Structure 1
Amino acid sequence: MFEDIPVDVSPMYEGERIRSANMFVELAGPKSVGAELIQVADDVEDGKIEVVGPELSAMKEGEIYPLGILAQIQGEKLEKELEGVIERRIHELCNYVKGFMHLNQRDQIWCRVSKESVNAGFKLEDLGKALSILLKEEFPIIEKISVSILTEESEVESFLETARAQYEVRDARARELSDEDVDVFYGCTMCQSFAPSHVCIVTPDRTALCGAINWFDCRAAAKMDPDGPIFEVEKGEVLDDVKGEYSNVNAVMAEKSQGMTERVYLHSVFEYPHTSCGCFEAVAFYIPELDGIGIVDRDFRGETPLGIPFSAMAGQCSGGKQVEGFTGLSLEYMRSPKFLQADGSYERIIWLPKEIKESLTDFIPEELFDKIPTEEDASSIKEIRRFLRESEHPVIERLKASKAAAAELEIIEDETEEVEVSEAPMAQVAYAPEISVPAAGGVRIILKNAKVYAEKVIIKRK
């Protein structure tokens, strides 16, 4: 099947990482541009593979080049609503090619080619051939397919505009439906090759973290391939409609995550936030000093108010981890009426990159828009606090209320005072994503998602 391709093509290479030391070239990614698109079309020339722009043999080792991947497909049973579903599989199938690494999706793709594969004679034309064969094999309803690989910068820029217009059409359709309108959500485990315990729950109000798959896409995928990585999830009992907790969603999360995640809140970054894969478009992060939430996307080049860039923050919560105060999300989810509704939605957002903020002009409440700072307004906690006070952001009232509540705890000088935390026998007083405890014999015990409970808290003033 792949006899004329000079490298192996197999699922065993999915998850392969190509580090910079072993990289021949980088394609698209954060320092260039790129996109991928599947389009259902008529009169497709079956088997046509073309490379528009420099081939790998004409590229300079260590450089970065733009990349566009366009596949046109034709088939009697193919429908437009399947485009997004099939398109998302490009990520998985590209990684079947030994020495080719594909990350992310849509206009966020980031690819690398290894030196070893180039030395073996691998070309981008071979990537097109592999995709053509694999897509037909994965989706028998595809009768004809042509694949174009674009590396000419002007061609990729033009293609990017076309692709983004198609993405917007798909996303706009999904906004017409809400969680209450359906009895079924969908789960996706497509990213488990990189994040083994991650399960993405997709609802009408919550697009997949990658931003590439919405509820309609999932419905089409589950019907077309019932045994595939996208499957139905009955909502079950509504445990909390504000936080977005459902009994059967919890059960599915526990089963599909190998017991790593037992509960999830779909619309909160606190307690049990949704797990994060690695393909998410943005990260929501808690800023405890201001009791607010910031958002950063993978295109942002600077440091966040926490003093670290997107890449470092993504490393803290990716891989399928559930870390309180952090959650990966799609930019489309920020257009949802349920966006972090349990946390206060945009009344709790206190920092955004300018580019994201401007893309949400029609979705951030008008009275809040000018009250949310960007990197041009503030970059440190101190600067954000000043901006929030001057703009009278609602989170300032939250801070005042919490300080007033704290003041109610009388601390008597030179005395020890016992304060009951709760009438319940035990109350949670601390949480940590990870605690490392030394033990005898050179052994270290690591407690994941540790929660500390106490009958009483004793406040002692020195």
Structure 2
Amino acid sequence: MFEDIPVDVSPMYEGERIRSANMFVELAGPKSMGAELVQVEEDVEDGKIEIIGPELDAMQEGDIHPLGILIEIQGEHLEKELEGVIERRTHELCNYVKGFMHLNQRDAIWCRVSKEALAAGFKLEHLAKTLSILFKEEFPLIESIAVTIMTEPAKVEEFVSKAKDQYQTRDARARELSDEDVDVFYGCVMCQSFAPTHVCVVTPDRTALCGAINWFDCRAAAKMDPDGPIFEIEKGDVLEEVKGEYSNVNTMVAERSQGTVERVYLHSVFEYPHTSCGCFEAVAFYIPELDGIGIVDRDFRGETPLGIPFSAMAGQCSGGKQVEGFTGLSLEYMRSPKFLQADGAFERIVWLPKEIKESVKDYIPEDMWDKIPTEEDVSGLKEIRSFLENKGHPIMERSKIVQSETSEDEAEVAVEEETSLMEGIQMEGGPMAPVAYAPELTMPSSGGVKIIFKNAKVYAEKVIIKKNDKP
């Protein structure tokens, strides 16, 4: 069925990475704009394919172009509530195409085309045709499908605005339900081609990390495709209500993560935070010098208060790793009444990019709005601390309590047998960067050794313990 497509099409190409050295062009991504949208319509011309804007053979190597992917579908039993479910599969199906890389979702998509694909004669019209075939194959409910791909900047800009309105409508519907209203959560393993041990747990109060799938979407997906990547999880016993720990969630996550992850707190960055894939919209990260939490999204271009950009931070906690002090999340989760409730919610947030802060303005408590700084207010830890003190941020009172209980010069290392602190803690790739933070971390070592770090920083290549560590 893909005989007219000049490159291979197969699930075996999922997870293919196209590095800059092998890249012909980049589409959408952090340096441009883009979106993808599935719409259920009443009158769709089956097989219609349209390219609006420059085709690949009209682009220059190294170019960066905007990208819009509109998929219109029709079917007797198709309902509007299935749009988000089907749309999310765009990520998976695009990656079936050899030489085409698709990352993220919604208006955060980031795609690349390889030099080899271009040399083989691959065009965007081939991508559109492939998607039309794969979607009908994956979803028998689809009777007619039309695919439009846009690279014309003005058209893409208009399309992105329309897509965002649709996303907002879907998300608003999901906010009407809470975790207590249901007996079933959902799991999603769609990202395991990139993050083999990641299991995304979706509840009414916690949308998927990608921001593209809510509880209603998952319910529809599980009913439509019981053997698909989205499945039911009976809640089971509530083990930690505030932290969001459930017996059956732990069981299912352990099973689906190949035993790598045994416990998950849905509403905390400490102890057993939710694993992160790579498609998450933002990262929540602990700042030990302030005992507070910062949040950064993939659109933020500067450095975080930890001194590293989003890309470096994402690299340390993505791939399905469970790293204490870090967790990927969707921006929609910040609108949830259970947003990091175990950690203090917005009263624990000490830094946000201005764009995120504005987007969730209606969900930040009124008395906290002026107390949370952005990159326009502060540029370093000392400035953040001064800002928090001047504004009377609750974290400063919390710090006083902690200091009264623990002297500033305390740095305890309890070792049951002699071991080297400079060996054995390694993470793959990237520059040395903090990968775990907490007031106290308990880390097992070989031979049953337990090491307790207080007020410590754990880095990718070594452990540093500092006394009187101040910003």
Q: TM-score, normalised by structure 2?
A: 0.89
Are 2:194 and 1:204 aligned?
no
Q: Does the 8 Å CA contact 1:188/1:199 hold for their aligned counterparts?
A: yes
- Tell me how far apart the structure 1 counterparts of residues 204 and 26 of structure 2 sit (CA, whole Å): 35
The letter of the residue matching 1:156 is: V
- Give 2:457's aligned residue: none
- Give 2:11's aligned residue: 11
- Give 1:285's aligned residue: 285
- Give 1:296's aligned residue: 296
What does 1:106-145 correspond to in 2, within 5 Å?
106-145=106-145
What does 1:41-120 correspond to in 2, within 5 Å?
41-120=41-120
Offset of residue 384 of structure 1? 0.4
Q: Does the 8 Å CA contact 1:433/1:450 hold for their aligned counterparts?
A: no
Structure having the higher Rg: 1
Offset of residue 450 of structure 1? 3.6
Q: Does the 8 Å CA contact 2:444/2:451 hold for their aligned counterparts?
A: no
- Tell me how far apart the structure 2 counterparts of residues 50 and 397 of structure 1 sit (CA, whole Å): 59
The letter of the residue matching 2:254 is: A
- Give 1:435's aligned residue: 425
What does 1:8-47 correspond to in 2, within 5 Å?
8-47=8-47
- Tell me how far apart the structure 2 counterparts of residues 298 and 433 of structure 1 sit (CA, whole Å): 32
- Tell me how far apart the structure 2 counterparts of residues 408 and 105 of structure 1 sit (CA, whole Å): 45
- Give 2:275's aligned residue: 275
The letter of the residue matching 2:161 is: E
- Tell me how far apart the structure 1 counterparts of residues 176 and 423 of structure 2 sit (CA, whole Å): 37
Q: Does the 8 Å CA contact 1:434/1:450 hold for their aligned counterparts?
A: no
Offset of residue 454 of structure 1? 7.0
Offset of residue 361 of structure 1? 1.0
- Give 1:146's aligned residue: 146
Q: Does the 8 Å CA contact 2:443/2:451 hold for their aligned counterparts?
A: no
The letter of the residue matching 1:221 is: A
Q: 3-state SS of the aligned residue for 1:370? A: helix
What does 1:223-238 correspond to in 2, within 5 Å?
223-238=223-238
Offset of residue 172 of structure 1? 0.2
Structure 1 gap segments, 5+ residues each:
412-418, 438-447
Aligned residues: 433
Q: Does the 8 Å CA contact 2:191/2:277 hold for their aligned counterparts?
A: yes
- Give 1:402's aligned residue: 402
Cα displacement string for residues 377-435 of structure 1 (whole angstroms, at most 9, x for unaligned residues): 11211110000000000000011000001149999xxxxxxx9x9xxxx9xxxx99972
- Give 1:414's aligned residue: none
The letter of the residue matching 1:331 is: L
The percent identity for this pair of structures is 77
- Give 1:191's aligned residue: 191
Offset of residue 453 of structure 1? 3.5
- Give 1:329's aligned residue: 329
- Give 2:176's aligned residue: 176
Q: Does the 8 Å CA contact 2:350/2:388 hold for their aligned counterparts?
A: yes
Q: 3-state SS of the aligned residue for 2:322? A: coil
Mean CA deviation greater in 398-407 or 183-192: 398-407
Q: 3-state SS of the aligned residue for 1:284? A: strand
Cα displacement string for residues 159-213 of structure 1 (whole angstroms, at most 9, x for unaligned residues): 0010000000000000000000000000000000000000000000000000000
The letter of the residue matching 1:39 is: Q
Q: Does the 8 Å CA contact 1:434/1:449 hold for their aligned counterparts?
A: no
Coordinate RMSD, CA, aligned: 2.4
Q: 3-state SS of the aligned residue for 1:54? A: coil
Cα displacement string for residues 230-257 of structure 1 (whole angstroms, at most 9, x for unaligned residues): 0000000000110000000000010000
Change (3 A) 1:432 1:310: farther
Change (3 A) 1:436 1:105: closer
- Tell me how far apart the structure 2 counterparts of residues 408 and 324 of structure 1 sit (CA, whole Å): 23
- Tell me how far apart the structure 2 counterparts of residues 192 and 176 of structure 1 sit (CA, whole Å): 30
Offset of residue 449 of structure 1? 6.3
The letter of the residue matching 2:402 is: S
- Give 2:355's aligned residue: 355
Q: Does the 8 Å CA contact 2:71/2:146 hold for their aligned counterparts?
A: yes
Change (3 A) 1:139 1:393: same
Q: Does the 8 Å CA contact 1:66/1:151 hold for their aligned counterparts?
A: yes
- Give 2:255's aligned residue: 255
Cα displacement string for residues 281-301 of structure 1 (whole angstroms, at most 9, x for unaligned residues): 000000000000000000000
The letter of the residue matching 1:264 is: V
Q: 3-state SS of the aligned residue for 2:148? A: strand
- Tell me how far apart the structure 2 counterparts of residues 185 and 379 of structure 1 sit (CA, whole Å): 40
The letter of the residue matching 1:262 is: E
Q: Does the 8 Å CA contact 1:25/1:114 hold for their aligned counterparts?
A: yes
Q: 3-state SS of the aligned residue for 1:337? A: coil
Q: Does the 8 Å CA contact 2:444/2:450 hold for their aligned counterparts?
A: no
Q: 3-state SS of the aligned residue for 1:205? A: coil
- Give 1:416's aligned residue: none
- Give 2:462's aligned residue: none
- Give 1:384's aligned residue: 384
- Give 1:443's aligned residue: none
Q: Does the 8 Å CA contact 2:15/2:193 hold for their aligned counterparts?
A: yes
- Tell me how far apart the structure 2 counterparts of residues 2 and 410 of structure 1 sit (CA, whole Å): 66
- Give 1:415's aligned residue: none
Offset of residue 360 of structure 1? 1.0
Q: 3-state SS of the aligned residue for 1:321? A: coil
